[in-house]
Amino acid sequence: MTITESGPVGGKTNSLLAVVKIVWAAAPGKAVAHLSLNILGGVLPVLTGWLVKVALDRLSDRISMGELLVPAVALAVVGVVQAFSQHAINYFRADLSRVTSIIAQGNLFTSVNGFVGLARLEDPSFLDRLRLASMSGRRSTNEVLEGSLGFARAVITSIGFLTSLTVIAPVMAAFLLIFAVPVLMAELALSRRRADMLLRISSHERREIFYDQLLTSPEAAKEVRLFGIGSFLLRRMQTERRHADRERRVVDRREFRTQSTLAALSASISGAGLVWALYASAHGSLSLGDVSIFIAAVAGVQAAAAALAAEGARVHHALALFQHYREIACMASDLPRSAEPAAVLPLRRGIEFQNVWFRYTEDQPWVLRGLNLCIPEGAAIGIVGVNGAGKSTLVKLLCRFYDPGKGAILWDGVDLRHMSPEDLRQRIGAVFQDYMSYDLSVRENIGIGDLSRLDDMPAIMEAAKLADAHETIVQLPHGYDTAITRIFFHGPEDDSDESSGVCLSGGQAQRVALARALLRNDRDLLILDEPSSGMDAEAEHEMQATLRVLRKGKTSLLISHRLGTLREADKIVVLADGVIAEDGTHKELLGRAGLYARLFTLQSAGYQESDDALSGRVGP
Which residues in this chain contact ligand ATP in the complex, by CB under 6 A? Answer: 122, 360, 364, 367, 385, 387-393, 433
Q: How far is the CB of 391 from ligand ATP (least distance, A)?
A: 4
Q: How far is the CB of 389 from ligand ATP (least distance, A)?
A: 4
Beta carbon nearer to ligand ATP, 201 or 399: 399
Q: How far is the CB of 358 from ligand ATP (least distance, A)?
A: 9
Look at the chain and count its residues. 620
What is the pairing mode between strands 428-431 and 571-576? unpaired
> Comparing C-alpha atoms, which of 307, 10, 304, 323 is closest to residue 147?
307
Beta carbon nearer to ligand ATP, 193 or 359: 359
> Comparing C-alpha atoms, which of 525, 606, 594, 524 is closest to residue 564?
606
Q: How far is the CB of 578 from ligand ATP (least distance, A)?
A: 9
Q: How far is the CB of 367 from ligand ATP (least distance, A)?
A: 4
The alpha-helical segments, DSSP class H, found in 519-612 are 537-551, 586-592, 595-610
What is residue 373's three-state secondary structure?
A: strand
Q: Sign of the CA dihedral 12, 14, 19, 24? A: positive
Q: Distance between CA 171 and CA 156 in Å, rounded?
A: 20
Q: How far is the CB of 362 from ligand ATP (least distance, A)?
A: 12
Beta carbon nearer to ligand ATP, 41 or 531: 531
Q: Provide the total of helices (H) and of strands (E) in the chain, helices listed first.
A: 18, 10
Q: How many CB atoms lie within 10 A of CB 127?
A: 15
Q: How far is the CB of 364 from ligand ATP (least distance, A)?
A: 6
Phi, psi of 372 (to 5 degrees): -120, 120
Beta carbon nearer to ligand ATP, 113 or 364: 364
Beta carbon nearer to ligand ATP, 180 or 384: 384
Q: Distance between CA 448 and CA 438 in Å, rounded?
A: 10
Beta carbon nearer to ligand ATP, 217 or 433: 433
Beta carbon nearer to ligand ATP, 385 or 407: 385
Q: How many CB atoms lie within 10 A of CB 503?
A: 11
Instruction: Give CA 391 to chain center in angstroms.
Output: 30
Q: Distance between CA 243 and CA 458 in Å, rounded?
A: 55
Q: What DSSP element (H or E) covers 426? A: helix 421-426
Beta carbon nearer to ligand ATP, 119 or 233: 119
Q: How far is the CB of 112 from ligand ATP (least distance, A)?
A: 17
Phi, psi of 263 (to 5 degrees): -65, -40
